[in-house]
Chains A and B, each alone.
Chain A
Amino acid sequence: MKNLSDQEIIDSVLKGNESDYSIIVDRYKDKAFSMLKRMLKSDFDAEEVLQDCFLKAYYSLKSFKGEAKFSTWFYKIVYNTALTKLSSKKRKIELEMSSVEDHFSLKSDYDSVDVEKKDLSKFMHEIINKLPERYSVVVSLFYLNEMSVEEISEVLQISVSNVKVMLYRARNSLRDLILSSKLAKEII
């Protein structure tokens, strides 16, 4: 059952086997949680919003026509629900103001960071959370959720070139941080 495609599981749920929806939940919960955690900067809010997203998706399954992949459709729900949550926290204006054209720098937060190769993964986790919301969402969707830039552009409702710009900037920013750390000596 676990090897079934998303569409096959959805068909089964729509036929009345509602317990099959738990396969979908298990399949996407951690990936979507990682994305939400980075957007909302809170474990509690992320889990609450994620519950809401799975319920929304369940009650809207009939409207899912299979034109796009289920994952794209679902992450669109996740992203929009997170935006609503952010706006309720009066942070949407902030988010919208941080457009693709805005530049950001993580250097001020990590001026003299001493990161070693063994800590790199942990350090990266921490740094991604410091990225502006939309940048961390792009990084999460691209790396954790293994989505293509085309799929990400559909989820975020922005152009493919803007997704690429955001991805490159996020990577460059992380690279510059590492280059200014002790780890740079090991890489050379």
Chain B
Amino acid sequence: MIKITDDILNKYLDGELNPEESKQVRTELQTSRDLQKKFNTLKLVHETLLNLAEDEVSADFTSNIMSKIGHKKFVVPRQQKYFIFSIAAFITILCLVIFGFSISAIISTSSPPSESLNVVDTVTVLSSGLIDFIKHLFSGKGLSILGSVFSLVIIISGYFFFEMQKRAKADLGNGHHL
């Protein structure tokens, strides 16, 4: 026989007791007037709470929220995506041009292959060609071109860094820090 406590009555109300326990509670409820009174009141509380009306927010609540959301988007704008893609493509092409130019420079500076040239000689010729190319790149006209390219890359990176900072600040302002 189970002892009919407040917890048991609550579980009975929620239908959480097994059939045997439920039967015992039902029998007890039929015999004890005090328990019946307790259970009926608990049931009344439960039913009243089930029919409790919701509180209502002000009439313009939804329109206020929607106006605050406004034109802000949480997705990366398509325009920005294209811009990032074009910068990546530009850097890739630049690398390919430098690589291709260095290869052609190496080939043009190396002497025609001869049968007497061994592996050590080939490496020496290639490395001297590479050194000549780098010297050419960092001197006079080559240096100014390189400087311009790097400046352009730095300016573009700076712009994106600034945009990212602005975006992060805006997100924080909107409470986007869950």
Binding site for B on A (CB under 8 A): 14, 16, 18-19, 21-22, 25-26, 29-31, 33-34, 37, 43, 47, 50-52, 54-56, 58-63, 77, 120-121, 124-125, 128, 139, 142-144, 164, 167-168, 171-172, 174-175, 178-179, 184, 187-188
How many residue pairs bridge A and B at CB < 8 Å?
Answer: 120
Residue of A nearest to B53 (CB): A121
Please tell me if the beta carbons of A171 and B75 are within 8 angstroms of each other in the complex. Answer: no
Please tell me if the beta carbons of A175 and B45 are within 8 angstroms of each other in the complex. Answer: yes
Please tell me if the beta carbons of A143 and B44 are within 8 angstroms of each other in the complex. Answer: no
Interface residue stretch chosen among B34-42, B115-123, B148-156:
B34-42
Q: Mark B151-178 against chain A: 1 for CB-CB distance below 8 A, else 0.
A: 0000000000000000000010011101
Q: List 17 A-B pairs, Cβ < 8 Å.
A: A21-B66, A22-B65, A29-B57, A29-B62, A30-B57, A33-B54, A34-B55, A59-B174, A59-B176, A61-B74, A121-B48, A124-B52, A172-B6, A172-B42, A178-B44, A179-B37, A179-B41
Known contacts A51-B65, A56-B178; is-contact A143 B40 (Cβ 8 Å): no
Please tell me if the beta carbons of A168 and B6 are within 8 angstroms of each other in the complex. Answer: yes
Most buried by B among A25, A120, A121, A164: A25
- Which residues does chain A contribute within 8 Å of B49, judged by CB atoms? 124, 139, 142-143, 171, 174
| Distance (whole angstroms) from the CB of B18 to the closest CB of chain A | 16
Residue of B nearest to A38 (CB): B55
Please tell me if the beta carbons of A172 and B10 are within 8 angstroms of each other in the complex. Answer: yes
Please tell me if the beta carbons of B56 and A188 are within 8 angstroms of each other in the complex. Answer: no
Please tell me if the beta carbons of A143 and B50 are within 8 angstroms of each other in the complex. Answer: yes
Q: Is B85 an interface residue (CB 8 A)?
A: no
Please tell me if the beta carbons of A19 and B42 are within 8 angstroms of each other in the complex. Answer: no
Q: Other than the known A37-B55, A56-B175, A171-B49, what 16 A-B pairs have Cβ atoms closer than 8 Å?
A: A16-B75, A18-B69, A19-B66, A21-B65, A33-B54, A34-B54, A47-B61, A51-B64, A55-B68, A62-B74, A77-B178, A120-B48, A121-B53, A172-B6, A175-B44, A187-B40
Residue of B nearest to A84 (CB): B175
- Which residues does chain B contribute within 8 Å of A164, judged by CB atoms? 10
Most buried by B among A26, A139, A144: A144
Interface of chain A, main secondary structure = helix
Of A19, A55, A77, the contact of B174 (CB 8 Å cutoff): A55
A16–B76 Cα distance when bound, in Å, is: 11
